[in-house]
Chain A
Amino acid sequence: MTEPAVADRPAGERIPAIEAVDVSRTYQLDGVSVEALRGVSLTVQPGDYVALVGPSGSGKSTLMHLLGGLDRPTGGRLVIGGRDVNALAPPEMATLRNETIGFVFQAFHLLPRTSAVENVALPLVYRGVSARQRRERAAAMLGRVGLGHRLDHRPNQMSGGEQQRVAIARALVTEPTVLLADEPTGNLDSVTGAAVLELLEQLNAESGVALVMVTHDQEVAARAHRRITMRDGVVVADSADPRSAHDRPPSVDHGRPATLVPAPSAEPRSASGSGPGHPSGGSGGAAGATGRLPREVERPGGTG
């Protein structure tokens, strides 16, 4: 373990916001293990603006959940805000999320029948902030996202763009070090989406909160300072962010080379009775015939 068990905020520039080393995540589904992530290493520095791209099923969402402390890795080391998540009990994980992470979801996830200001204040409830202070801070945050005039509106009285702004305000009201946005513009039309994106970028630039955004949209991804591309549970490309390249350890800059060993679950399925000439399941060589494997390693600079 590295020594800073608790993050020292004043020295935040030195300590990575999130550090993942060879992180893997395996699910058990009906007795079959599915490897969603197989050895991902990356570092998010305070103030980063990262786009996480990749096809469906590439492990982006799993990685987001891990980076946000909603889930734990089954292998490797994950340090969020200076704390190793493997050493944390569920209540400590909750506190860690509350203090260091802000989430923005594609579907907004606002509480219905609850005013904008109360939605924004929700994370502060779990921090034990008094009701008056919560309202003050939530109202101020709503002002920053341009909704100072809609404090007491409920989600069903607001447009999609406004709802996402409320969700952004809720994510930032705790002054987290990392803002994780999962397809934040996915449910919005292009104009509204662009405005929300601009807001996120502006907040990232102003407050220094690291912005990690999962997106399908290549245009959106192109605006990020750094792009991490995933496929089949590994990072296949990680463009360096020129702004912070000088103080990032080079060893974790790129994902380590993806292995070409196929997952056991990737074997072709053949009806057991009908293939007498095919006595045993294929080994590594047979996997190539499926057309799904092998993966290619995409080098930085290959996109955009």
Chain B
Amino acid sequence: MRVAEAWRVALDALRANRLRSALTMLGVIIGVASVVLLVAIGTGTKQKVEQQVEGLGSNLLLVVPGRIEVGNAPVVSPLTLKDVDAVTRVVGDPDRVAVTVASGATARAGARSDFTTVQGVLETTPAVFTRSLARGRYLTGTDVDTSRRVAVLGDSVARALFPDRDPLGQQVALAGVRFRVIGVFAPLGQSLGVDRDDEVHVPVTAAQRLWGTQRVDGIAVKAPDRERIDELGERIVAELNRRHPDTEFSAVTQQQILGVLGDILGVLTGVLAAIAGISLLVGGVGVSNIMLVSVRERTREIGLRKAVGARPRDIGVQFLLEAVLLTTIGGLTGMALGVGTALLVDALSPIPAAITWWSLALAFGVSAVVGIVFGVVPAQRAGRLDPVVALRTE
């Protein structure tokens, strides 16, 4: 029997029992749709996190005291601006080095107040961390050198303190000390549930004076290229170790952060997909069950086909194709449903979802394989039916 003919016969058989075919497919549809949807959510989350980490700036090296490990208590930083100068010498380019000394503080403007994070930084921050301003200007070298009390507001802070006024040129009190607003950041949005626009940048020197400290919490370096980033990190850590023999330092790259986050999210996505895969398996069992019923129901048809010359293989292929058609049509419908739901979730909820071609290919391939695996037994049974017995069946 020709293959095209076999497809037609299988389609006819499915059409003859529309409701049953649809219900059988439903198991596969739900399985495939949930695989596609859950993988999309997992992938979307991963992509978003990666975007945000990469959005910090490219080829970034973060130098902090202590060892970056889960469970380690934060270390009080022994770093000062002198150490920053030493690091700058190692790097060789002051524009590539940024620092931060951060603390929570209440910002006030008139009757309004907002608890936010005040970051003491160098004028190099926008270049190192790829930040852009919505209005006004950023800090300058002179602002830092002269500890000028000027501030650049994050978008959330600007909205909270100046909902109906232009914040530029206005006074804002940080921990009771007045600063002049010279710029407002362009909004960044949320990252892992944290509002990244809830911050105020001031010159590091002004911040240190505000809190009465000499410390710097961390140093960020924008490496000139990706290849030498690890080596640069090692040199910086060596220099800092020389200056502070009692403290450990770590230099981590975005790739390392991404690697750890990616592993966690990858496992999560895998677990979700596996759970959804179980429902696909259950759908496959349903297909097998219905195919066995179908073989029994059409015993006489099988007998007749054999009598007029169908070989066991012809009958087997016919029923196998029927099972494969059930699961692939179900698979395609499930894919459409999964993609549609994923797009809705992405558009209407804060949960990100991204469709990847491999998840679609996998879902479709798995549903076809499920059809073959669960169709083989009924198909073999049909192919081996004794035509004499089959013809006698009522």
Q: Which residues of A approach B to under 8 Å, CB–CB?
A: 65, 68, 70-71, 90-91, 94-95, 97-99, 103, 105, 109, 111, 113-114, 122-123, 125-128, 131, 170, 174
> Which of chain A's residues has its CB closest to B394's CB?
A107
- Those of B363-394 within 8 Å (CB) of chain A: 386-388, 391
Q: Which residues of A contact B96 (CB under 8 A)?
A: none
Residue pair B5, A109 in contact (C-beta under 8 Å)? no
Residue pair B300, A109 in contact (C-beta under 8 Å)? yes
Q: Which residues of B contact A91 (CB under 8 A)?
A: 311-313
- 26 chain-A/chain-B pairs, Cβ below 8 angstroms: A65-B388, A70-B388, A71-B387, A91-B311, A91-B313, A94-B306, A94-B309, A94-B312, A95-B309, A97-B307, A98-B308, A98-B309, A103-B307, A105-B391, A109-B300, A109-B304, A111-B304, A114-B12, A123-B308, A125-B1, A125-B2, A126-B1, A126-B310, A128-B1, A131-B5, A174-B309
Residue pair B16, A113 in contact (C-beta under 8 Å)? yes
Q: Which residues of A contact B306 (CB under 8 A)?
A: 70, 94, 97
- Those of B298-320 within 8 Å (CB) of chain A: 300-301, 303-314
> Which of chain A's residues has its CB closest to B310's CB?
A126
The smallest C-beta distance from A130 to any residue of chain B, in angstroms, reads 9
Q: How large is the interface on B (under 10, 10 to 19, 20 to 34, 35 or more residues)?
A: 20 to 34
| B5, B304, B308: most-surrounded residue (chain A CB, <10 A) | B308
Given contacts A109-B307, A123-B309, A126-B1, 19 further A-B contacts (CB under 8 A): A70-B391, A71-B387, A90-B312, A94-B309, A94-B312, A95-B311, A97-B306, A98-B309, A103-B308, A109-B300, A109-B304, A113-B12, A114-B12, A122-B304, A122-B305, A126-B308, A126-B309, A126-B310, A170-B308
Q: Which residues of B contact A90 (CB under 8 A)?
A: 311-312
Q: Which residues of B contact A109 (CB under 8 A)?
A: 300, 303-304, 307, 391
> Which of chain B's residues has its CB closest to A94's CB?
B311
> Which of chain A's residues has its CB closest to B314's CB?
A126
Main secondary structure of the interface of B (DSSP, over half): helix
> Which of chain A's residues has its CB closest to B386's CB?
A71
> CA–CA, A127 to B311, complex, Å?
10
> Which of chain A's residues has its CB closest to B313's CB?
A91
- Those of B242-271 within 8 Å (CB) of chain A: none
- Contacts A90-B312, A91-B313, A109-B300 known; A70 to B5 CB distance under 8 Å? no
The smallest C-beta distance from A81 to any residue of chain B, in angstroms, reads 13
Q: Which residues of A contact B309 (CB under 8 A)?
A: 94-95, 97-99, 123, 126-127, 174
> CA–CA, A91 to B304, complex, Å?
15
> CA–CA, A131 to B8, complex, Å?
12
> CA–CA, A128 to B2, complex, Å?
6
The smallest C-beta distance from B313 to any residue of chain A, in angstroms, reads 7
> CA–CA, A95 to B310, complex, Å?
8
| A90, A91, A94, A131: most-surrounded residue (chain B CB, <10 A) | A94
Q: Which residues of A contact B387 (CB under 8 A)?
A: 70-71
Q: Which residues of B contact A98 (CB under 8 A)?
A: 308-309
Q: Which residues of A contact B391 (CB under 8 A)?
A: 70, 105, 109
Q: Which residues of A contact B16 (CB under 8 A)?
A: 113
Q: Which residues of B contact A125 (CB under 8 A)?
A: 1-2, 5
- Contacts A65-B388, A105-B391, A128-B1 known; A70 to B311 CB distance under 8 Å? no
> CA–CA, A127 to B313, complex, Å?
14
> Which of chain A's residues has its CB closest to B301's CB?
A111
